[in-house]
Structure 1
Amino acid sequence: MADPTIELLEQCRRIPVTAPETEAFHLWLLFHLDLIWVIRLFPWLRLVRVNKSMNEFLMFSAPFPDAIFPIPSL
């Protein structure tokens, strides 16, 4: 039996990344999903810096190159 969460995330992956409403959705994903899942589902994300003292990941996405998203410690 397939995991419904994985099925939902796979459907989300098919959303066009150029749609303007997806930026907020991707932000939501980054804050609510495990970092490994985010990287697997959205391979266009690139880790640009890890601040170990603050336990914060900074990432940017190719469709939104000016946006930097803080990721809480996982």
Structure 2
Amino acid sequence: MSNGHSSCGILGLFLGFLTGVFWLLLVTLNIITDLLALLTLGTLAPILNILIGLIGFLVVIIFGLLIFKKVWRWYFKK
């Protein structure tokens, strides 16, 4: 059991962090808006932009914190 800690390796955590950064990049560069306009769903673009941005931000924060904790434990291991 993991006792409340992440049991995946540092590579998995880093890939999760990069996924969050990728979603934030898509939102900030308006690629999501352009894609939805291309699919004639332009009225949903502001709502989906906010939702995808929030999810990406939360993913970056959570995985960044998990990476920090794993590196901290590795560095100060006795």
Fold-level match, TM-score > 0.5?
no
Q: Which of 1 and 2 has higher RCO (CA within 8 Å, sep 6+)?
A: 2
TM-score (normalizing by structure 1): 0.27
Structure label with greater radius of gyration: 2
Normalising by structure 2, what TM-score?
0.26
Larger helix percent: 2
Looking at secondary structure, tell me which structure has more strand per residue: 1
